[in-house]
Amino acid sequence: MRGYTMDKDDYLMRLRRIEGQIRGLQRMVEDETYCIDVLTQLSAATKALQSVGIGLLEEHVNHCVLEAAREGDADT
């Protein structure tokens, strides 16, 4: 099985949570919330997004790349 389909629901849930964090950041900027508070939330959202990216990369390496190597597919 190629890709991240086994963890698709988890990734979507995490991305929706990040979307909520970003909307919260927009409100904080609109409301002129204290800069440090905005930066703290921005850092949390960034870390969450990086975590999703790392998970997707791990899935790619552990499934797509390994499968392609087994099949002799140099394009993946």
Pick from 18, 40, 38, 39: nearest CA to 29: 38
Pick from 25, 19, 24, 14: nearest CA to 51: 14
Does residue 67 lie in a domain region?
yes
Q: What is the CATH number of the domain that holds 57?
A: 1.20.58.1000
Does residue 61 lie in a domain region?
yes
**pTM to 2 decimals?**
0.79
Q: Per residue in 5-21, pLDDT tens?
A: 678 899 999 999 999 99
The 10 Å CB-count burial string (b at 16+, else e) for 14-46 is beeebeebeeebeebeeeeeeeeebeebeeebe
Does residue 76 lie in a domain region?
no
Q: Per residue in 26-61, pLDDT tens?
A: 999 999 999 999 999 999 999 999 999 999 888 888
Report how many domains make up the chain: 1
Domain interval for residue 27: 5-71
Does residue 16 lie in a domain region?
yes
